[in-house]
Amino acid sequence: MSRPSVRIAGAVALAAFSLSLLPAFGQQQVPTASSPVPAAPAPTTAPTFPKPDPSFFTATAPTADEVNAFLQTSWGYDPRRVWQVQAILKTHVAGLSKVVVLVGDKTGAQKVSALEFFALPDGKHIIAGNEVLPFGANPYTDDRAELQAKADGPYRGSPSKELELVEFADFQCPHCKEAQANMDKLVADFPSARVVFQNYPLARIHPEAVRAATYGVCVNKMGGSNAFFQYASAVFEGQEGLATPDGATLTLNSAVTKAALDPAKVAACAATPAAGADVESSVDLARDLNVNQTPTLMVNGRQVPLGGVPYTTIKSIVEYQAKLDGVTLETPTTPAAAPTSK
């Protein structure tokens, strides 16, 4: 069987199911596999896929229709994306099937690539690269329900969870700082959305991130969501100050003051076991959802890496997922102001 040489692995495979086969840029707790081999110059016309060989469909599950339904859910936000299921093969493991899909672009802007993944016997998960991902025509339902039940961080926008955008972020992560402009745009463009901030400090690489997160927990407890987002904006603005323990103390106290709260009271609260447990609970939620980098956005349970992704793509994914979930979107009446530091 002749296949294109480009393969997708690790974080790139994860991004592929949400994005346009773009590599994801973010802060990761665990190093990922190497990036794909650079592609040759893209063709100038839409691809013509080779006719699938029936002998390459030896597995009974999943069916080609089931794979196509999954890919439509995953990629339907992009009208340029085209694909063809090329093989569904038995493996030596009972119930484990290897799926090969050719992926291209109607405009010819993207060279045809081969996406390979393994469908697990439970019919609800696949392995792509080194990631276990949800599978099916409605792959995000379980994660959406878990977020509705457990995403309890401060939020902006609607109290309704019908359209819930949950950001997992680390205050010391440079990519998270960069992503805040897009988060502010989402708040403005989707007034019916509940936009939640969940702490995911990567303590192994960011020593002051946990303290920044516990301060945030206490700011939210004492001043509510409005105070929290003033605090968060100030911490991200002064992120370089988190490089040392003394600098972090000054940066966090300054951010608390800008949120109109008492730094001494917030520091005392942040030192309590309860504040630490709140942060750890949020970290556990991220791990349960297989979030392995910051910043990551969950759109009604659908995982979207934020780092390096154009806002137009993020917005298209939100609109498409809302449509899949039967959510009626409100039209913004006036631009929503981004959080400001006082």
* 128 and 151 housed in the same domain: no
* 15 and 86 housed in the same domain: yes
Overall domain count for the chain? 2
The model's pLDDT over 270-319, given as tens digits with 9 standing for 90+, comes to 999 999 999 999 999 999 999 989 999 999 999 999 988 999 999 999 99
Rg over alpha carbons for the chain, rounded to the nearest Å, is 22
The structure's pTM equals: 0.84
* 154 and 253 housed in the same domain: yes
* 209 and 320 housed in the same domain: yes
Report helix, strand or coil for 137. coil
Asked if residue 330 is part of any domain, the answer here is no
* 295 and 170 housed in the same domain: yes
* 69 and 94 housed in the same domain: yes
Which domain-ending residue is among 101, 121, 139? 139
Which CATH number do you get for residue 263? 3.40.30.10
* 133 and 234 housed in the same domain: no
Nearest C-alpha neighbor of 180 from the set 136, 231, 139: 231
The model's pLDDT over 97-124, given as tens digits with 9 standing for 90+, comes to 999 999 999 988 888 999 999 999 999 9
Give the mean model confidence (pLDDT) for residues 230-245: 97
State yes or no: pLDDT of 38 exceeds 90: no
Report helix, strand or coil for 129. coil
* 183 and 110 housed in the same domain: no
Residues 266, 271, 276: CA angle, nearest 5 degrees: 105
* 229 and 250 housed in the same domain: yes
Asked if residue 131 is part of any domain, the answer here is yes
Cβ-contact 154, 213 below 8 angstroms:
no
* 20 and 158 housed in the same domain: no
* 129 and 221 housed in the same domain: no
Task: Provide the residue range defining the domain that includes 91.
Answer: 10-139
* 69 and 126 housed in the same domain: yes
Asked if residue 340 is part of any domain, the answer here is no
The model's pLDDT over 140-197, given as tens digits with 9 standing for 90+, comes to 999 999 999 999 999 999 999 999 999 999 999 999 999 999 999 999 999 999 999 9
